[in-house]
Amino acid sequence: MSNGPAASALAIDAMGSDLGPAEVVEGVSLALRSFPEIRNHIILVGDKTVLGPLVDKKKLEKYAKISIHHASEVIGMDEKPIQSLKNKKDASMLRAIDLVKDGVAQAVLSCGNTGSLMAAGTLRLRTLPGVERPALAIVAPTKDHNFVLLDAGANPESSPKNLVQNAILGYNYGKVVLHNERPRVGLLTIGTEEGKGTELINETHSLLKQMGSMIDYKGLIEGFQVFDNHVDVIVCDGFVGNIVLKACESLINNMKSYLKKRLQENPLRWMGALLAMGAFKDMKKQFSTERYAGSPLLGLKGIVVKAHGSSNRHAIMHAIHLTHKMLHREMNNRMLADIQTANDIMNPNNHSVDVR
C-alpha cells in the first residue's frame, strides 16, 4: 500500500459467478461508471481468451487501470473446499487470492464457492497479527435500519476471545458499511439477565465490558431483538449466526411463496395485489440484500469479499464499491490497532513487554 489506499489494487475472480464472466465484467463497468471514487487498479482473474474480448469491448481503461491475470481453472459451487484447493491449483479464485498474498493486490472479490474462499483465504493469507480466527460478516436489512451480523459461519466453535475479536472486527466493519462512526454492538444470547446464557456468553460479556470506549458495547441481546434496531452489530459464533441467517431467509421465501399463491387463486385478490404493488415493491427493495451483496471474511491479511454466486451486475457493482470503501478507509489497519489493544486488555501480562 505504498502508494496510499486510493492506488491499491483489487483482484476479481471473474470466473466464479453463476451468470458467467460477462456479467462480472459488466459489474466492473457499472462500478467504474457509477462511482467516480473507484479508481483502483482492477485485476480480472480468469481465462484470458474469454476475458480479453469482454474487457476490450467495455473500454474500461479510460476509468481505471485494468489488467487480466490468466488462470485456467474454475472451482465449482459444489466442490468440497479443501479438495478444490488441492485439485485446482490454477483456479481463478486461488490465483486472485495469491495476488493479495504476493502484495500485487490488496483485496480480492469472488462470487465463487464460499467454503473454498474461506478456506483458501484463511490458509493462504493468514490472519492479521493477533487475530485468532477470521469471521464472515453479513449485512441484513430491517424495516428501519441495517445491521451487521458476524460470524455467519467461518468459525462454528468459538472461544470468548474469538467472540471479543469478532466484536472488534464487526465494529470496524460496521463503521465502513453502515456509515455510522459509532455502531452499537450487542452479544446474541438467550435471556438478557446476566448469568442466564452459556459459559461462552457470560465470559465474552464480561470481557466485552472491559473494552471501555473502544467499541460501543450495549450488552446482551435476545433473538427477538435481532431485527428490532437495538444494535447495529450483532456478535455470535459461526454456528448460531449461520443458522439464524439461513433460517430467516428461508422463512421469508416460504411466506412470500404462500402469499403469492393465495393472491393468485382469486382474480379480485390479484387485482388488489396489483393496486398495492407499490408497497410490495418498496418492501422488496427495503429487505433486499443487493446493496450489501458483498460479505467480507474479516480479520485476514488483505480484504477478502464473497459475493453471492448468483450476483448480477448490480450486485457485483455494489460489492466492488464495498470493497473499495474497506480499502479506502484502511479498515484493516484500524482493526489491527484495535485488536492489539483488545488483546492487551485480555492478556495484561503480555502487555508489560510493550511498556518498556
Residues lying near a second copy in the complex (CB under 8 A) are found at: 80, 115, 142-143, 153, 156-157, 188-191, 193, 197-199, 222-228, 236, 238-240, 242-255, 257-259, 261-263, 266, 268-280, 282-283, 286-287
Which residue(s) pair with 219 in the sheet? Answer: 186
Neighbours of 119 (CB within 10 A): 18
Quick one: 22 or 77, whose CB is closer to a second copy?
Answer: 77
Which residue(s) pair with 188 in the sheet? Answer: 221
Quick one: 72 or 225, whose CB is closer to a second copy?
Answer: 225
The CA distance from 28 to 283, in Å, is 28
Instruction: Give the three-class secondary structure for 3.
Output: coil
Quick one: 129 or 156, whose CB is closer to a second copy?
Answer: 156
Quick one: 214 or 248, whose CB is closer to a second copy?
Answer: 248
| Contact predicate 304/107, CB 8 Å | yes
Quick one: 89 or 143, whose CB is closer to a second copy?
Answer: 143
Q: For the chain, state the CA radius of gyration.
A: 21
Work out whether strand 184-188 and strand 107-110 pair parallel, antiparallel, or are unpaired.
Answer: unpaired
Q: Which amino acid is at 190?
A: I
Among the residues of the chain, which ranges form H helices? 21-34, 48-58, 81-87, 92-101, 114-120, 160-177, 199-209, 238-264, 267-275, 277-286, 313-328, 331-346, 348-355
Work out whether strand 294-298 and strand 303-307 pair parallel, antiparallel, or are unpaired.
Answer: antiparallel
Neighbours of 39 (CB within 10 A): 14
| Contact predicate 174/296, CB 8 Å | no
Quick one: 40 or 114, whose CB is closer to a second copy?
Answer: 114
Q: At closest approach, how far in Å is the CB of 161 from a second copy?
A: 17
The CA distance from 199 to 342, in Å, is 20
Q: At closest approach, how far in Å is the CB of 163 from a second copy?
A: 13
Q: At closest approach, how far in Å is the CB of 55 from a second copy?
A: 35
| Beta carbons within 8 Å of 271's beta carbon, 6+ residues apart | none
Q: Give 190's DSSP letter.
A: S
Q: At closest approach, how far in Å is the CB of 101 from a second copy?
A: 25
Q: At closest approach, how far in Å is the CB of 80 from a second copy?
A: 7
Quick one: 35 or 239, whose CB is closer to a second copy?
Answer: 239
The CA distance from 299 to 326, in Å, is 12
Q: At closest approach, how far in Å is the CB of 258 from a second copy?
A: 4
Quick one: 242 or 311, whose CB is closer to a second copy?
Answer: 242
Cell triple for 96? 486472485
Quick one: 261 or 356, whose CB is closer to a second copy?
Answer: 261
Q: At closest approach, how far in Å is the CB of 278 from a second copy?
A: 6
Q: At closest approach, how far in Å is the CB of 243 from a second copy?
A: 4
Q: At closest approach, how far in Å is the CB of 104 from a second copy?
A: 32
